[in-house]
Structure 1
Amino acid sequence: MTAQKNKRKEYLSVKDLEKVLDSCKLDLHQIDEVWPNIYIGNVGIAQNRSALRRLGITHILNAAHSKRGSVGDQSFYGSSFVYCGIPAEDSSHFDLDVYFRPAAEFIHRGLKSPDGKVLVHCIMGMSRSSSLVLAYLMLYQHLSLCSAVQRLIQKRAIYPNRNFLALLLDLDLQLKKKRKTCILL
């Protein structure tokens, strides 16, 4: 029975992650550097091209592309920035996981470019954008979801919705299984 209990505790739940997120005491800002050269921000900063140039942002990942209040596409940003738009909804039914790998690849390419700095934003900069950055940290920096969340909340107030947390937990489980398989081979 105890071994079974320990086995169950090995895997996090959405509720466990929400407790970690609730421990964050930071105020929400327009933009924060959450990882070297990765910024999470809100739509206000994302639409301020001169502020983005001052910060040295080169790549913009809009997790609220085509949503009301989120102006932005490559023509809006011109040749000063590389743009990628994801039409995500901050809802309990949106399958954000189909964008985890493409978003992570975009962030990775942005960081690899000369002087690359990536802004990932949505409307508030709390749920959609932070979920995509968490997926990047898991896929490219090989952090567990819990470690990635703990790292981000040291830099920014984030709060992915319960659906996104569940999708990130699924990704975390897939990556853990893949790592175990690699070790066994």
Structure 2
Amino acid sequence: MGLCHFATLALALLVLLEALTQVDTQKMVRVQCGVRLRACSSIRFLRLPALSRCLQPPQKQHQVCRDKQLEISSTKCPSEKTTAWARYPHRMDSLQEQNLRRPNIHGAVAVPSYQPPTLSSLQRLLWVRRATMLSHIDEVWPNLFLGDAYAARDKSKLMQLGITHVVNVAAGKFQVDTGDKFYRGMPLEYYGIEADDNPFFDLSVYFLPVARYIRTALSVPQGRVLVHCAMGVSRSATVVLAFLMIYEHMTLEEAIQTVQAHRAICPNSGFLRQLQVLDNRLGRETGRF
């Protein structure tokens, strides 16, 4: 009897332990399922509303973003700037490189001012750009002629060219002695200057008076002027250059190039320096400097 009772108790204990084991297992399953369900529900409640807000129309989307700023960066609604950056990164980079708030104001490109020519450059210009031929008389400007003593004494040539005014820059008994008596009976006017072809002779005192005379003569209907000296390359050429500078508003280089295109000229170094002074004075008055 004792052994049977002991066996019965042992069997009951085994059945009880098995039942307890099954209960624990079910509890663990329930706990795990509960955790999963809670995690899934939390994920559903955390993500689905954010996703639904992001899928809303743009106006509503921006309103939600302004009303509720989410702390989690992954759930923030993208702004217009972020969306544009994602779509067109190269365009945004190019815009950021530009200073759109304040335009870059660069200094105006400085126009180089007129540089007065040096004496050596003027002499080089006179020798390099010489006319191929040298004649007794040449028209160097409309109705303005430059010539030598031979042309000044050729009355028939003067009549043929229709010369109305003669400017003699080598007047005097021992130079080109023409004057009013020489042209008596001819329909022309005479203006004489006793100048020497000497670098130390001050020819500049005649620049303005001769230039005015030439201008007045050219303003006469059918007015044609001959300016001459002995060779027609130094004294007479100098006053013609001065006229072009004063009344035709040329620089010294421009005047030389204009005359050189029609006649070879060669003012001496003293006359060139005087023309440089005139060029500088006219440059200051006209604002070239």
Matched position secondary structure for 1:80: coil
Matched position secondary structure for 1:138: helix
Give the one of 189, 196, 210 matched to 1:89: 196
Structure 1 residue ranges, 4+ long, deviating more than 2 angstroms after superposition: none
Superposed, 1:20-169 pairs within 5 Å as 20-23=125-128, 24-66=130-172, 68-78=174-184, 79-169=186-276
Matched position secondary structure for 1:27: coil
Q: Deviations over 1:131-172 (max 9, x none)?
A: 000000000000000000011100001000000000000000
Q: 1:165 to 1:72 in 2, by over 3 A?
A: same
Higher relative contact order (CA 8 A, sep 6+): 1
Deviation of 1:68 (Å): 2.3
State the alpha-carbon separation in 2 of the partners of residues 42 and 158 from structure 1: 11
Give the aligned partner of residue 176 of structure 1: 283
Deviation of 1:76 (Å): 1.3
State the alpha-carbon separation in 2 of the partners of residues 111 and 49 from structure 1: 20
Matched position secondary structure for 2:177: coil
Q: Deviations over 1:73-95 (max 9, x none)?
A: 11211252110001010001100
Give the one of 108, 124, 146 matched to 1:19: 124
State the alpha-carbon separation in 2 of the partners of residues 177 and 30 from structure 1: 36
Number of equivalenced pairs: 176
Matched position secondary structure for 1:151: helix
Q: Write the letter of the residue equivalent to 1:100.
A: F
State the alpha-carbon separation in 2 of the partners of residues 129 and 115 from structure 1: 22
Give me the CA root mean square deviation.
Answer: 1.8
Q: Write the letter of the residue equivalent to 1:19.
A: R
Larger Rg: 2
Q: 1:25 to 1:76 in 2, by over 3 A?
A: closer
TM-score if structure 2 supplies the norm length?
0.58
Which stretches in structure 1 are left out of the alignment for 5+ residues? 1-5
Matched position secondary structure for 1:134: helix
Give the aligned partner of residue 3 of structure 1: none
